[in-house]
């Protein structure tokens, strides 16, 4: 099943630092072992150094290049990824100030994707402020305990097929 949630619900941010941590831990409990993330930059501009510094912080967690599902249901391709463990979780929370939806183009990483094996479990589209989770019924029951406001199906701007397209 697919569910989604937004970065803002009413006038409140959806993912407080506690809920961001709980969401990542939930992903780990669903066998997520690696994640991917983007960092937009302009070549030759100051923010290129910011991007390089961010990826340097990720170096200890490198899981290399793996064939992983692409966002939007466009198949699989080799892409860099990083190991999800206690230390990388702390780094993620620091870099996002505790909100996985944090978005400051050219200054913060964006579009976090958490993988179970080679398939997307959680995709966060930072700019669009939308997230998609692909869950089993049992996982959905556990997710509800996080008390993150959500809806079934796909959000407006992002897409993920019910099953990976292989």
Model pLDDT for residues 45-86, shown as the tens digit of each residue:
888 999 999 999 999 999 999 999 998 778 899 999 999 999
Q: Determine, yes or no, domain membership for 154.
A: no
Residue 163 lies in a domain: no
Does the pTM of the predicted model rise above 0.85? Answer: yes
Residue at 143 is within a domain: yes
Structural domain that includes position 139: 2-149
Check pLDDT > 80 for residue 158: no
Quote the CA–CA distance of 131 and 12 in Å, as a whole number. 16
Decide if 164 is inside a domain.
no
Q: What is the pLDDT of residue 91?
A: 97
Q: How confident is the model at residue 88 (pLDDT cuts 50, 70, 90)?
A: very high
85 belongs to a structural domain: yes
Q: What is the pLDDT of residue 162?
A: 86
Identify the band that residue 102 occupies on the pLDDT scale cut at 50, 70 and 90: very high
d(CA 161, CA 1): 10
Confidence class for position 116, pLDDT limits 50, 70, 90: very high
Domain for residue 160, yes or no? Answer: no
Mean pLDDT of the chain: 93
**pLDDT at residue 12, rounded to an integer:** 87
Residue 122 has pLDDT above 90, yes or no: yes
Residue 10's pLDDT band, with cuts at 50, 70 and 90, is confident
Rg of the Cα atoms in the chain: 15
Collect all residues with Cβ–Cβ distance below 8 Å to 33 and sequence separation of at least 6.
63, 83, 84, 115, 116, 117
Q: Tell me what pLDDT residue 161 has.
A: 83
Tally of structural domains, the chain: 1
pLDDT of residue 166: 83
* pLDDT on residue 153: 86
Residue 27 CB burial class (10 angstroms; 0-12, 13-18, ≥19): buried
For the segment 142-157, the average pLDDT, to the nearest whole number, is 90
Contact 24, 80 (CB under 8 A): no
* Tokens 């976090």, located at residue: 112
Residue 84 resides in a domain: yes
């Amino acid at each position: 099943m697919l569910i989604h949630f937004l970065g803002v619900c009413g006038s409140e941010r959806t993912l407080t630092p506690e809920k961001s941590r709980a969401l990542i831990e939930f992903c780990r409990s669903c066998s997520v072992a690696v994640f991917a993330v983007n960092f937009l930059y302009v070549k030759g501009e100051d923010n290129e150094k910011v991007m390089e510094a961010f990826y340097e912080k990720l170096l200890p967690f490198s899981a290399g290049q793996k064939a992983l599902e692409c966002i939007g249901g466009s198949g699989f391709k080799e892409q860099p990824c990083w190991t999800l463990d206690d230390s990388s979780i702390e780094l993620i929370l620091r870099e996002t100030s505790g909100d996985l939806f944090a978005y400051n183009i050219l200054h913060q990483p964006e579009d976090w994707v958490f993988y179970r094996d080679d398939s997307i479990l959680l995709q966060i589209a930072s700019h669009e402020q939308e997230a998609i989770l692909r869950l089993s019924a049992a996982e959905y029951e556990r997710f509800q305990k996080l008390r993150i406001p959500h809806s079934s199906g796909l959000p407006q701007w992002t897409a993920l097929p019910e099953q990976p397209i292989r």
